[in-house]
Amino acid sequence: MKKILFFFSTTFLILLSSCGEEVPANNVEEYCPTGNLADLHLYLGNPSNAEENINMPNNYLLELDEYAVSYNRDKAIPNWVSWYLSSDWYSGDGNRQDDFRQNPFLPSDWYAPDSESYKNTGFDRGHNCPSADRLCSDNFNSATFFMTNMVPQSPFHNQEIWVAWECYLRYLADQDMELYIVMGNYGLGGDGFFGYRTTISDGDNEITIPASIWKVAIAIPKGDDEDLAAITGQSMVIAIDIPNSQAVADYDWDDSSFITTVDEIESKTGYDLFSNLPTSVQSTLESKYHQTDPTYNPCN
């Protein structure tokens, strides 16, 4: 009996350790989408033709399974972050990781912000692709905490109005919709907890504080059709542009002064958003102002 027990326990240990080497338990993505995920985030286009090219340091493309980024080395913030959203990406067993950290995928000789860079500046480490959009697993969530996904955001802007706007997009995803989202920023200088500033100083380096933060989304019913053909001039589009200011806390994200058009954001940034859509669809969609239901807003 002892011999048999020994045999079983040894076999069990060998099995355990070989499993451990090949598929660590914490890397099992039980609920997350699979397949060629990186392409999905740029499916509707690459707004600034960013490339993974060290000679383009201020329009440097970072493609992850979780989202895509055009990073600006000199500003030390993203120009834009683009991602696909459906409920599959946040339903699962992931938890908020809070592991803010330097992005290891940038060229190693570049300055890159780390978890301490915004400390005591009066500005939040504001996610572009939200933590709560990526909760299908701990690993997917953790990827949203790379500092290349952050901008210095006014605390009330981040914690109040922007949270509600993010929530509204997940509310749409909860209604069995799928969304193509791009978030970015423009201009110089915002106001934080200690007042107006144009940069955060991080020792020898500076991080640009943007004047305005925008986000655009196209939402369509989740279906089996090819999405490029499923998006028409009648599809839902929402474009929001909110000054990076503490004063916005008194407003709702869908206040008429923040609702804008994709065309307007294109003219402020010089990007071509949703460039993979047919020109005729772009011109109709990109000039539309979104109207929310004034009697029902689940997130405000």
Binding site for Mn ion (CB under 5 A): 263, 266, 272-274, 282, 286
Residue 45 CB, shortest distance to Mn ion, in Å, is 7
Which residue's CB is nearer to Mn ion, number 97 or number 282?
282
Is the alpha carbon torsion for 161, 163, 165, 168 positive or negative? negative
Which residue's CB is nearer to Mn ion, number 95 or number 267?
267
Residue 262 CB, shortest distance to Mn ion, in Å, is 6
Three-class DSSP category at 184: strand
| DSSP-assigned letter for residue 246 | G
Buried b or exposed e, range 59-82, using 16+ CB within 10 angstroms: bbbbbbbbbbbbbbbebbbbbbbb
Query: Element (H or E) spanning 279, and its range?
Result: helix 279-285
> Would you report the helix, strand and coil content of the chain in percent, each value rounded to 5?
30, 25, 45
Residue 185 CB, shortest distance to Mn ion, in Å, is 18
Which residue's CB is nearer to Mn ion, number 41 or number 170?
41
For residues 90 and 66, give the distance between their C-alpha atoms in angstroms, rounded to a whole number. Answer: 11
For residues 32 and 36, give the distance between their C-alpha atoms in angstroms, rounded to a whole number. Answer: 12
Residue 266 CB, shortest distance to Mn ion, in Å, is 5
Residue 81 CB, shortest distance to Mn ion, in Å, is 17
Contact 237, 288 (CB under 8 A): yes
Residue in 112, 109, 101 with CA at minimum distance from that of residue 72:
112
Residue 281 CB, shortest distance to Mn ion, in Å, is 10
Which residue's CB is nearer to Mn ion, number 44 or number 209?
44
Comparing every residue's Cβ against Mn ion, the nearest one is 286
Residue 291 exposed, middle or buried by CB count within 10 Å (0-12, 13-18, 19+): exposed
Which residue's CB is nearer to Mn ion, number 44 or number 64?
44
For residues 239 and 214, give the distance between their C-alpha atoms in angstroms, rounded to a whole number. Answer: 7
Out of 41, 127, 157, 290, the active site residue is 127
Which residue's CB is nearer to Mn ion, number 173 or number 237?
237
Q: Is 127 a catalytic residue?
A: yes
For residues 234 and 48, give the distance between their C-alpha atoms in angstroms, rounded to a whole number. Answer: 25
> Which are the catalytic amino acids?
127
